[in-house]
Amino acid sequence: DAGVIQSPRHEVTEMGQEVTLRCKPISGHNSLFWYRQTMMRGLELLIYFNNNVPIDDSGMPEDRFSAKMPNASFSTLKIQPSEPRDSAVYFCASSPGGGGTGELFFGEGSRLTVL
C-alpha cells in the first residue's frame, strides 16, 4: 500500500482563487482526518469523517472551508475564496476506525501558499 496519498504536493495561488486539496486514504480505513499545520499553531484538526460521514467539523475555520467524502477512497478539502492567512501545510490522515489503537497514518501533506 502506498499509504495516504495527497495532491497536489504544492499549490501556489492568488488571493480569491478557489483551492481544492485531495486525499486518498489507506484502503480499509474507516476514519479520515484533515489537519492544518502552521508554525504558530502546530497541528489543528479541521474535520474528521467516519464511514464517509462528517463527525466533527468544529475545527473548520469559517464558511470558506468545506470538506467532502463522497466515497471511502476519496476526500476533498476546498477553500473558496482563499486568503493569504490560509497558507499552511494541510495534512490528510486515516485510521482503521472503531477506536482502534489511535494511530493515524498521515499523507505527505499539501503545502499551500496564497499570495
Task: State the residues that interact with another protein by CB under 8 A.
Answer: 3, 33, 35, 40-45, 48, 55-56, 91, 93, 99, 101-104, 106-108
Assigned C-alpha cell, 54: 462528517
Closest CB 87 distance from another protein, rounded Å: 17
Closest CB 103 distance from another protein, rounded Å: 5
Assigned C-alpha cell, 17: 482563487
Closest CB 43 distance from another protein, rounded Å: 4
Classify strands 74-79 and 88-95 as parallel, antiparallel or unpaired. unpaired
CB nearer to another protein: give 84 or 100: 100
φ/ψ (deg, to 5) at 17? -80, 155
Assigned C-alpha cell, 59: 475545527
